[in-house]
Amino acid sequence: METLRNSPGQTFIFEFTQEAAAFDLTEDGACFDGPVQIRLEAVFRDGKFHVCGSMRTGLLSECSRCLQPFTYQLEGQWEDDLPAEEVYELDVRGLAREMYYTALPLKPLCAEACRGLCPVCGADRNLVDCGCNFEQMNDKLSVLKKLLLE
């Protein structure tokens, strides 16, 4: 960070590729399809370090609709101004973890058009048309359906 302090206004770019374990990203059981690529840009100005970064990696996941495994291209970004008096070194591991967790999808999908599993028979509707009748599946909502038709 001293180099940044001594060069106000000059942007420094740091790029590196590491295995996910180097950033403590595998502790929750995540499986990666390759290394994690990190790019950070830092500049010192107005008494602050302006840091922005991006992360890219392939993550093996399971579709939340059809439960089939697939590789998800995870891309995260981060940007912040850090007060110079509080920062003596950049915590790259912490930044990578923050980008990773904020980029994770809540419900990963193998494809936007994934049809998921049949709620009646459990067949993967992307592969077969099972012909099940969804209308009769949950009779509890039939009263609401009648209201919508009126």
Rounded CA-CA distance 38/127 in Å is 37
pTM summary value: 0.71
**Cβ distance 72 to 61 under 8 Å?**
yes
CB-side exposure of 69: number of CA atoms within 13 Å? 7
**Cβ distance 114 to 126 under 8 Å?**
yes
**Cβ distance 95 to 24 under 8 Å?**
no
Q: What are phi and psi of 95, to 5 degrees?
A: -65, -45
Q: In this predicted structure, what is the pLDDT of residue 126?
A: 94
pLDDT in tens, the chain (150 residues): 677 777 788 999 999 999 988 888 876 778 899 999 999 998 988 888 899 999 999 999 999 999 999 999 999 998 988 887 776 777 888 888 888 889 988 999 999 999 999 988 899 999 999 888 766 555 666 677 777 777
Q: In this predicted structure, what is the pLDDT of residue 74?
A: 92
Residue with tokens 């950049």: 90
